[in-house]
Amino acid sequence: MKQKVFRTLADLRFSIFILLLISACSIIGTVIEQDQSIEIYKLNYPLNTPVFGFLSWDLILKLGLDHVYKTWWFLSLIFLFGCSLTLCSFLQQLPSLKIARRCQFFRTTNPFYRLKISTILNQFSLNRILNQIKQNQYSIFHQKNMVYCYKGLIGRIAPIIVHFSMILILLGTIISSLFGFKAQEIVPKTESFHLQNILATGPLTVISQSSARINDFWITYTPTKTISQFYSDISILDSKGSETNRKTISVNYPLVQDGVYYYQTDWNLIGLRLENSKHQIVEYPLINVFGSSDKVWLTWISNSEQSQKGLLAIIDNLEGYCSLYNNNGEFLGNLELNETNSFDQPLTLFEIISSTGLQIKTDPGIPIIYSGFFFLMISTLISYITYSQIWLIQQKNKLFIGGNTNRAVFEFELEFFKFIK
């Protein structure tokens, strides 16, 4: 019974079937938004008009389609596929490799007629032929009147390395699902923060309790006034508030601390700090009325003497100025940092208060996944090595010679004709 179960798991058709199931589940996880709030699923997959006639939000939550890659059934499919690859390697690939290493002499001449490349020589020099074969890096085994030659045995290892690399990729995926997490934080400049807005987490994840501080945030622009890059100066703090690590991060250049990655992902403007006509420092909040797609903020600066009058301030960058408009929508001018202008009221712009958007995540399975893809590339290169075999039998004044190869048939034919020339 155990042998039947193992043979079934190691069967190629069973492995392909499991792989197709994993691919189908991955497609579902790509189409349906993952790790979103219940309200989003209720809005996009309502009960009264389900998508495709059956896909509603309650079914999505019941089957775990909102977090496909962390469900028990998806992880079970990956585990089953990994077992299938492992058994296939031990029950099929390794035995075939052992057979390929053996001396497979032809005892009779009948097998030569089943080879695609074979001939019979009436005039020959066996020593010359064997010397030509040896010069082409073949391993030669001679027994009485029989000769067996092969080369490129390392090419037979490629399928085993493919299975090993896929098992590593699957193992890394499971580890990432169980132990990884992802958080998103919007932090004002000069403020400290802890991880609070957790977007996704695994069942065995341990969230880092360390805190961090945003020392500074700034943006660089191109000559055409488009954003070139934005930067955050981050300090990692211990439990006593002391700095343990510090780095200026930017897009694609994160800070790494104890396996936790701090990525620069977004930015925002919070408010303007101004001095009014009474020499009072006042902060005005900025509002993005166009949503996150357009980086344009505005605020209303009321006149302390006439509450119905004021100025509209609009800002869309961090270059150190904002644009001012009056009640009628007429453009008055730009107010720059540390500059005092007197339009309807004297104002001095002290600071543009900004915040940085950070994505904090840990993915312990990434090194294992990268190692799997590395071995997969190695196996691809090894698979181009041709495994070729040649057999010879000498009977009186005749020499039966034939060969076989698993790829590059044309090159092998040319090589074979050189041997018998």
At how many degrees (to 10) do helices 72-88 and 2-9 cross?
100
Residues of the chain scoring pLDDT < 50: none
pLDDT at 282: 87
d(CA 57, CA 61): 6
pLDDT at 49: 83
pLDDT at 308: 67
Domain residue limits, the chain: 2-96, 104-150+394-420, 153-179+363-385, 180-268+357-361, 274-315+328-351
Give the bridge partners for 392, in sequence order: 147, 401
Which tens digits make up the pLDDT trace of 43-67?
A: 888 888 888 888 888 889 888 888 8
pLDDT at 104: 84
CB 393 within 8 A of CB 148: no
pLDDT at 262: 94
pLDDT at 314: 92
pLDDT at 285: 92
CB 147 within 8 A of CB 402: no
Q: How far is CA 397 from CA 115, 171, 393, 400, in A?
A: 21, 60, 11, 10
Which two three-digit tokens encode residue 222? 């191109």
Label residue 97 exposed, middle or buried (CB < 10 Å: 0-12, 13-18, 19+): middle
> Within 10 Å of residue 369's Cβ, how many Cβ atoms?
18
Which two three-digit tokens encode residue 144? 């009485």
CB 366 within 8 A of CB 176: yes
